[in-house]
Structure 1
Amino acid sequence: MRRHFPWITLVSLLVLVGMKDITFLSPENLVSLASDVVPLLIMAVGMTLVIYIGSIDLSSQSIANMATVLTTIALPSCGVAAGLLVIAVGLVFGAVSGVVTTRLKVPSFISTLAVGGIALSVGQYTSGQQALHMDTAQRRHAFGWMVGQTAGIPHELVLALLIVAVAWFIQTRMVPGRTFKAIGAGEPVVVASGIRVERYKILAFALSGMFAAIAGLVFSVRLSGGSPTLAEGFLLPAIVAVLVGGTPLTGGVGGVLNTLVGTMIVAVVRASMLYFSIPATGQQIFFGLVLIIAIATTIDRSKMRIVK
């Protein structure tokens, strides 16, 4: 039954909040709820690929923050190419995390934390440590397709679902995705089979950085600007979304679709705090507790005989 827990949890939460206010379950409200967590979903999808191999990426939030700044700065001169530039930068930062982890044998939580610090510094330096704003006409010309609605469905939500579909295809239908699962399930066996594990690990980190940059791009376009702290507070909910969705830190189980469910659980929990008059200051406390519970209930202890 463990693999069904995320769905059961999501449905239970929806029913619980719906009993408090039936309008919460209206299609319009649910679509709005999903649209609000689009950047979080994209960031969490990238992080899923790293956790899937049994590692962790703590640089996602900082890369997303940097991406909002770089998008805003590059927009006047590059137009829509600013998005491609930012995605490439995120890919490079993620790859650096992967190289430091695999080649220098630095634990992933240290390497990604360090790379995240570099990304934060780049965002602070290029922005002058202040909020930047996009020109409305330039934003509409370059990224107008990303905002607005069609038949009541926000374009950014469609974009997020397409990204989830691409990540799911990589995970389930391509050699890298299958190798990611094998690495998470039993890395020594994969190494013994002659597969170049380091290359696939670097790829997982690179994809995570790329998705974090896309999340920052969406954030920047949505809010028409950038700041080195714009995505602050997203790291913990993103990790929670991955774990409560059913992808444990030990890797090899779960995946992108699980994270989609986990992100909706996070969205419903955040909304329920408003319905039950829980102050915003209590959200991080709640997510911290959920993170501990999620790790304790999903981790495969057979892979961790000793905890340090």
Structure 2
Amino acid sequence: MTLDRLKQHFPWVTLVVLILIVGAMDPNFLRPQNLVELAGDIAPLFIMALGMTLAIYIGGIDLSAQSVANMTTVLATITLPLFGVFSALVVIAVGFLFGAVSGLVTTRLKVPSFIATLAVGGIALSVGQFASGQRALYMDAGQRDRAFGWMLGSTAGIPHELVLSLVLLAFAWFIQNRMKAGRILKAVGAGELAAVASGLRVDRYKILAFALSGMFAAIAGLLFSVKLSGGSPTLAEGFLLPAIVAVLVGGTPLTGGVGGVLNTLIGAMIVAVVRASMLYLDIPATSQQIFFGIVLIVAIALTIDRSKMRIVK
């Protein structure tokens, strides 16, 4: 079996090994209910990573996801008294719009996606700061429970936020594997010049990928807001790096064209288990960021397709 074929199995093998290692540290970790709760806790990060997968799948990157999620927590808190449950549609539409702007800047102005999304993320941060008055906002508990209380409950021991994550995973998987858009996104990631030469409307689908990434980031922000009963321009701070790590260690390389949303499910669980192990070892949050930074470098080095990047600048 070649190294390339072995690489396909690295993510799930890594996940199993990590679970066994943490289970050896604390046998209670292996209890099914504990693993389910662990998956539920990682739901907002996983949803953010799902959207980012679509941007990375085409060979781009979305660095605005965290800022869009932060902005969404503020907008959700502000719009809840006005629109109730329909505030979800408002913030999701705003996230979609911000993602589409990133796509337009990338395709129409030919600005690299990491610059375009970084700039759009800065705009989202400013919107969140302005709308919140640079302070934390709090939701009315009654209004929150009437509109979004179902997100916080559980059925047969399964957290509803986990169910929501799986529904969104199914939606993203359907786009990737059962729609024309998914086939074109794969073609763009595999070789954009060839996709253009074959007559595909590449720019339109690149914009769609970034728009969907913004939409998923907004849904993650909404879930953050509901879970923590409020909003802040920094509420989702520290989630961008683990979300990128979840995509890359899951097997979707920065050069795009392979991997996908199912891979990100495995990657997100790897991140969840690693974070849990750090809690058991009493490793502080600052050191966790250092660890994820190192993992990110290693993941890129191992997964990147150098045939598409003969020169690195």
Normalised by the length of structure 2, the TM-score is: 0.98
Paired residue for 2:107, among 91, 96, 102?
Answer: 102
Question: 2:180 aligned with 1:181, yes or no?
Answer: no
Kindly report structure 1 stretches of 4+ aligned residues shifted beyond 3 Å.
none
Question: 2:86 aligned with 1:81, yes or no?
Answer: yes
Question: 2:208 aligned with 1:208, yes or no?
Answer: no
Kindly state the Cα deviation for residue 275 of structure 1 after the two structures are TM-superposed: 1.6
Question: 2:209 aligned with 1:197, yes or no?
Answer: no
Counterparts of 1:219-234 in structure 2, within 5 Å, are 219-234=224-239
Counterparts of 1:118-133 in structure 2, within 5 Å, are 118-133=123-138
What is aligned with 1:256? 261
What is aligned with 1:287? 292
Question: 2:169 aligned with 1:164, yes or no?
Answer: yes
Q: Deviations over 1:33-55 (max 9, x none)?
A: 11111000000000000000000
Counterparts of 1:126-141 in structure 2, within 5 Å, are 126-141=131-146
What is aligned with 1:275? 280
Q: Deviations over 1:148-193 (max 9, x none)?
A: 1110011111001100010001000001111111100011111011
Whole-angstrom CA distance in 2 between matches of 1:265 and 1:193: 38
Question: 2:194 aligned with 1:150, yes or no?
Answer: no
Question: 2:23 aligned with 1:13, yes or no?
Answer: no
List runs of 5+ in structure 2 lacking aligned partners: 1-5
Question: 2:8 aligned with 1:23, yes or no?
Answer: no
List runs of 5+ in structure 1 lacking aligned partners: none
Kindly state the Cα deviation for residue 280 of structure 1 after the two structures are TM-superposed: 2.3
Q: Deviations over 1:219-264 (max 9, x none)?
A: 1011110000000000000000000000000000100000000000
Aligned residues: 308
Classify the secondary structure of the residue corresponding to 1:58: coil
Kindly state the Cα deviation for residue 279 of structure 1 after the two structures are TM-superposed: 2.5
Q: Deviations over 1:127-165 (max 9, x none)?
A: 000000001111111112211111001111100110001
Whole-angstrom CA distance in 2 between matches of 1:281 and 1:92: 33
Kindly state the Cα deviation for residue 300 of structure 1 after the two structures are TM-superposed: 0.3
Whole-angstrom CA distance in 2 between matches of 1:59 and 1:85: 18
Paired AA for residue 308 in structure 2: K
Paired AA for residue 11 in structure 2: P
**Percent of aligned pairs with the same amino acid:** 76
Classify the secondary structure of the residue corresponding to 1:80: helix
Whole-angstrom CA distance in 2 between matches of 1:238 and 1:274: 18
Worse overlay, 269-278 or 156-165: 269-278
